[in-house]
Amino acid sequence: MSTGLAAGSESGPECPASGQYDYNLLVIGGGSAGFAVAKEAASLGQKVLLLDAPSPPGNTKSVSGFGGGVSVLKRLMQQAALLGQSLKDAAAYGWKIQQPVEHSWSELTDALQERMKELSFERRQELRKLGITYLHAHAEMLDPHTVQATDSKGEKTSHTAETIVIATGDKPHYPDIPGLKEHCITCDDLFSLPQPPGRTLVVGDSGEVLEAAGWLFGLGTAGEDVVVMRPSDHREDGDHKVLEKLEGHMYVQGVCYIYGYMLTKVEKIEAGSPGKLKTTSWPPGRPLLVDEQVFNTVILSVGRDGCTQGLGLERVGVTLNQSTGKVVVNAEDQTSVSHIYAIGAVQEGRQAHAGLSTETARLLAQRLYSGKHTKCESSSVPRVLFTPMEYAFCGLTEEAATQSFGESNIEVFHEHYWPLQWSLPRRNKNSCYAKVICHIPDNHRVVGVHVLGPSAGDIIQGFATALRGALTKKQLDATIGLHPVSAEVLANLTQTQRETEAMRVQGNC
């Protein structure tokens, strides 16, 4: 039984718990998944406790507040970069803007933190209205049904629950390389960095590398250079060909790329805010320019680990992936202990996606407490990279479609397009791109839609619904395009990738 509530706890009207337990459901972690499962369970009449601990350094939640906030922070950071480009475009639309235009990094990060505080307060109010008990405390499992909570003052309380959900999220991985933990930051840390990052090296193969590099270049905060170091040719978070086009666009804009290298050492050679760091890279036989090895800030994005350290999960028999710390679950989101579940980014094999985590959590609560059996279907979940030129897609990448159906059984329709709003400032005529991937034997059913361009995420949302309804290319072609907006391109795709490649071989393009 509980020994009392920790200081600063919030609770609403008491609901009956089941049998000998304090709560029907105890949720550890208050990100998108934890917040959603707690809300849904409470709406179904369950007595719920939500424990959300201060996160370890380098974890997004340390700056985003509970309830999930990293997507909000990314979108706001992207907007800041887009406004910088809009200021450059303004003259073409007749605006007279006094030069020089300056950007304040500290005012931006302060505004981001203030917005997260507001969001955190709003979500605590939601929990209170639903009668959910909330504790801002570290959680540790004492036995399969008992969790000990330790608040910021070190006061401990214990709480029992019939069902427990682990939703603690993930955190950036730091390889065991000299100087990385001491001197490098992660993409998560950018949102609360106290000073402009200066000349920056961004390391990794993930999509968030491109996001961070795009923001910094758009904001003009990185001095002369933003440099992206890609250790391998592997590209995560999207279609390889589209990501190559995105990288090419960023390169033309001024972002530098180094391919095939990995950091082996980072040393601080000059103190200050941000100071100077000397980087050493592998392989050593391929020389880098001397000035490419010295940076003010080094940002890492080389994988993510589950936030499970100190939770005591092994003590109660929950199986973890020992290399990542993530929780192994079955198709029902159930761990190796039958009444303990794991959802969201802490789950082994789950992509970090706020919308997917929220839906998975909601459906889990319904399976537990309303007799439903629906599980989350993720094949057409839309995804987006909040780079200044946005990339969004739903369904399969070209690589995945080829692997699933065979190259001869897919057709790719594609086209470069020029957004109308880019025409007056004469911006990047061949940068924006759309592609639709179809499964030929299945009546040219659309299995993937990819958009690279302004507001791509807003465009793709509706197509995710259409893919779930087995959209065909014929139906897409029959759609009346809304003129003149960027999404119009998807209703007018006639050129196939095979035709383009044939013309290229023949020297016609």
Residue 332 covered by a domain = yes
- Assess whether 140 and 5 both reside in one domain: yes
Query: What's the predicted TM-score (pTM) here?
Result: 0.89
Which of 268, 286, 302 is the C-terminal boundary of a domain?
302
Q: For 63-98, what is each residue's pLDDT tens digit?
A: 444 556 788 999 999 999 999 999 999 999 999 998
Q: What is the mean pLDDT of residues 123-152?
A: 95
Residue 149: band (very low, low, confident or very high) from pLDDT cuts 50, 70, 90: very high
The tokens for 193 are 């960095």
- Assess whether 364 and 417 both reside in one domain: no
Residue 291: band (very low, low, confident or very high) from pLDDT cuts 50, 70, 90: low
C-alpha–C-alpha distance, residues 329 and 327, integer Å: 6
pLDDT the model gives residue 369: 97
Query: What letter represents residue 68's amino acid?
Result: G
Query: What letter represents residue 174's amino acid?
Result: Y
Residue 384 covered by a domain = no
CATH number, domain with residue 460? 3.30.390.30
The tokens for 495 are 């050129």
Domain interval for residue 411? 389-504
C-alpha–C-alpha distance, residues 204 and 130, integer Å: 41
Residue 509 covered by a domain = no
- Assess whether 37 and 144 both reside in one domain: yes
Residue 184 covered by a domain = yes
- Assess whether 1 and 133 both reside in one domain: yes
Q: Which residues are catalytic?
A: 483
pLDDT the model gives residue 16: 54
Residue 185 covered by a domain = yes
Q: What is the mean pLDDT of residues 471-485?
A: 93
Q: Do 213 and 226 touch, CB atoms closer than 8 A?
A: yes
CA of 148: how far to CAs of 47, 320, 363, in Å? 18, 20, 27
pLDDT the model gives residue 224: 62
- Assess whether 154 and 188 both reside in one domain: no
Residue 11: band (very low, low, confident or very high) from pLDDT cuts 50, 70, 90: very low
pLDDT the model gives residue 239: 95
CA of 85: how far to CAs of 218, 282, 286, in Å? 7, 35, 35
The tokens for 59 are 């974890």
The tokens for 117 are 């505080």
Which of 336, 358, 378 is the C-terminal boundary of a domain?
378
CATH number, domain with residue 240? 3.50.50.60
Beta carbons within 8 Å of 140's beta carbon, 6+ residues apart: 147, 148, 150, 310, 311, 312
Query: What letter represents residue 145's amino acid?
Result: H
Which of 302, 317, 342 is the C-terminal boundary of a domain?
302
Residue 424: band (very low, low, confident or very high) from pLDDT cuts 50, 70, 90: very high
C-alpha–C-alpha distance, residues 383 and 391, integer Å: 8
CA atoms within 13 Å, Cβ hemisphere of 88: 11
C-alpha–C-alpha distance, residues 130 and 67, integer Å: 15
Residue 128, pLDDT > 70, answer yes
- Assess whether 139 and 26 both reside in one domain: yes
How many helices (H) and strands (E) the chain has is answered by 12, 22
- Assess whether 156 and 261 both reside in one domain: no
Q: What is the mean pLDDT of residues 153-160?
A: 94
- Assess whether 393 and 492 both reside in one domain: yes
Residue 383 covered by a domain = no
- Assess whether 35 and 66 both reside in one domain: yes
Residue 192 covered by a domain = yes
Ordered strands of the 256-259 beta sheet = 185-186, 297-300, 200-203, 226-230, 256-259
Q: Which of 188, 190, 189 is nearest to 217 (CA)?
A: 190
- Assess whether 403 and 371 both reside in one domain: no
pLDDT the model gives residue 54: 63
- Identify the burial level of 115 via C-beta atoms within 10 angstroms of its C-beta, where 0-12 means exposed, 13-18 middle and 19 or more buried: middle
Residue 457 covered by a domain = yes
Residue 14, pLDDT > 70, answer no
pLDDT the model gives residue 502: 83
Rounded to 10 deg, the angle between the 398-405 and 240-253 helix axes is: 160
Into how many domains does the chain fold?
3
| Chain mean position to CA 475 | 32
Residue 284: band (very low, low, confident or very high) from pLDDT cuts 50, 70, 90: low
- Assess whether 485 and 444 both reside in one domain: yes
Q: What is the mean pLDDT of residues 394-418?
A: 96
Q: Which of 41, 42, 37 is nearest to 52 (CA)?
A: 37
- Assess whether 162 and 184 both reside in one domain: no
